[in-house]
Amino acid sequence: MIGDLGARDATELAGLVARGEVTADELLDAALAAVEARNPAINAVVLVQEEAARRSIREGLPRGPFRGVPFLIKDLGIEAKDFPAHNGSRLSMNTVYRGDNNLMLRMKATGVVTFGRTTSPEGGVGIATEAAVYGGPTRNPWNPDHTSGGSSGGAGAAVAAGIVAMAHGSDGDSSVRIPAARYGLFGFKPTRARLPDGPWSGEGWAGMAIDGFLTRSVRDTAAMLDACSGPDLGAPYFAPELRQGYAQAISRPPRRLRVALCDTTFTGEAIDPEVAEAVRAAGRLLESLGHHVEPARPRADIPGMMRAWSDIVAVGTALTIRQKLNGRPLTPDLVEGVGRGAVAHAEGLSPLRYLEAVEEIHDFGREMAWFFRPEDGPGYDILLSATLAEPPAKVGRFSHMTEDYLGFRIGPEGCFAYSPFAAVFNASGQPAASLPLGWTGSDLPIGVHLAAPFGEDEELIALCAEIEGAVYWNRRAPMAG
């Protein structure tokens, strides 16, 4: 009756439960069997709590849109009382929480059956998931020699391998959209502050980090975002109100849009030819749908933004590490090289630098907003680019062993050179998405990236749904799945 979970999205699975064709326990059985069969090859699912999942079913699941659907949460930054966490670090092994944070409460209200966590890199500062605390790298189900992406690498791998149909992630440096691009999935980053951070946190990385989901379908993301959106009590700021909601937005195509197509980096450098062609093919698809597409790229201080981003994240990383060390020495057995390098970098900054960097990020957001303003700017509705400058990299390329934090982040072979697009919209706060619209000659996924003006989540997700309907992107199972 259930068949292969990898062939279904979460909405379809919830429909099976609602019609009585399968039970929540049977879906959980299937997910746990998939963990046993597939996880050893990819190392994506950790800290499984089967009894907590069974108890949630016995006690009665909420009648939300995903009632009975197996679900996984990222092992980073989400407090959940029934789910101990490592948070990607040996410093945080087996952390137990006194309660659920507000996002966890909203996700639970959809009726999902959470049964474990997914791997993440230490501190969430990398674009590969190879944290020492998990005993080995998380690998790409399409080809285990290739990296999983980060920081929601385990979440993406679990969905791509068919262990679950949907998983929680978070995105502070394109950390939902990078795994989506590497796995052939849909990843959507909402406008800044669209989702709650409380009650134990006000914001992540000066507002650049936000939660999200890895899914196979646009409708799954839309329904989960509708269930989770909105400020929580005491939020320091919040996103503009949605006009109709994500699910209603995808019920009809958007208006015909003016699209800027960039098949280079945003600073004009060439990218991998296969990736660039995937971007141009997406442009041709949008033209065939009646949208106006023309070459253009934003004129903003992207290198300056990334240096400010790196300083802000280093300070945040250093604060977390120093708090968790609690007076212990900063040694390699407790903290990986990039984390130690981030501490050294942060502690070498001027005491004024953090606020200066935040101001630079705010200035950058205004520069990017001008690109989308019809009154006095170019007035584009959508910016189309690649998600990554190259196809999925090999395992080990972005190892956290180095202590050269800046080189790791913004050096010529660093994370930003590999992923020069998506982090731009963490800094600006704009909604953005990675769509699985291309494949390399070696059968690896290529993600194509769309970004919209601040607050225009509904128009962006409506466009994503229109594209999905036009091409019905490939949902075949990967080789390691």
Report how many domains make up the chain.
Answer: 1
Q: Evaluate whether residue 349 is within a structural domain.
A: no
Q: Evaluate whether residue 308 is within a structural domain.
A: no
Q: Evaluate whether residue 429 is within a structural domain.
A: yes
Q: Evaluate whether residue 313 is within a structural domain.
A: no
The CATH number linked to 135 is: 3.90.1300.10
* Confidence band of 374 (pLDDT split at 50, 70, 90): confident
Q: For residue 431, what pLDDT is reported?
A: 98
> Of residues 56, 89, 92, 151, which has the active-site annotation?
151
* Confidence band of 280 (pLDDT split at 50, 70, 90): very high
Please say if 324 is a catalytic residue: no
Q: Evaluate whether residue 444 is within a structural domain.
A: yes
Q: Evaluate whether residue 325 is within a structural domain.
A: no
Contact predicate 167/72, CB 8 Å: yes
| pLDDT tens column, 390-409 | 999 999 999 999 999 999 99
Give CA–CA dist 5/220, Å, rounded. 14
| pLDDT tens column, 188-239 | 999 999 999 999 999 999 999 999 999 999 999 999 999 999 999 999 999 9
| pTM above threshold 0.75 | yes
Q: Evaluate whether residue 59 is within a structural domain.
A: yes
> Of residues 92, 175, 229, 419, which has the active-site annotation?
175
| pLDDT tens column, 73-107 | 999 999 999 999 999 999 999 999 999 999 999 99
Between residues 330 and 472, which one has the greater pLDDT?
Answer: 330
The yes-or-no verdict on residue 1 having pLDDT over 50 is: no
* Confidence band of 5 (pLDDT split at 50, 70, 90): low
> Of residues 56, 74, 108, 148, which has the active-site annotation?
74
442: domain range?
Answer: 7-301+359-471
Q: For residue 481, what pLDDT is reported?
A: 45
Q: Evaluate whether residue 433 is within a structural domain.
A: yes
Please say if 151 is a catalytic residue: yes
